[in-house]
Amino acid sequence: MSSIAAAEKDAGNACHSQKRYDEAIKHWSNAIEALSDGSDKELLKQLYSNRSATNLLLKLNNKALEDAEKAIQTDRNWAKGFTRKGNFVKLSSKY
């Protein structure tokens, strides 16, 4: 795990818990960029999932869907990625 990515994930989580959602997304985006080599798929899927949920909360539906799909692509056996995509479908009435 990249120490930069881990620090950015933690900062994003702290911002999210304080309802500073835009800042949380920025930190998670920085963490994703730090893992651009795909070296830590476990962390990467969590970051995409967190960002997806927060984008959906902010009604940034297309970004939420993109991140849910990236989480699924990172690990097709991880149920949470599919849950994020399902939340998008439910809230956007695109069934």
Determine the Cα–Cα distance for residues 22 and 12; give it in Å rounded to an integer: 9
CB 16 within 8 A of CB 24: yes
Residue 16 inside a domain? The answer is yes
Residue 37 inside a domain? The answer is yes
Q: Which domain holds residue 60?
A: 3-90
Burial class from Cβ neighbours inside 10 Å (0-12, 13-18, 19+) for residue 24 reads: buried
pLDDT bucket at 94, cuts 50 / 70 / 90: low
Residue 58 inside a domain? The answer is yes
Mean pLDDT of 48-77: 95
Residue 85 inside a domain? The answer is yes
| Domains held by the chain: number | 1
pLDDT bucket at 92, cuts 50 / 70 / 90: confident
Residue 70 inside a domain? The answer is yes
pLDDT digits (tens, 9 = 90+) for 14-31: 999 999 999 999 999 999
Q: What is the pTM of this model?
A: 0.89
Q: Which CATH number belongs to the domain containing residue 68 in this structure?
A: 1.25.40.10
Residue 95 inside a domain? The answer is no
Determine the Cα–Cα distance for residues 69 and 21; give it in Å rounded to an integer: 20
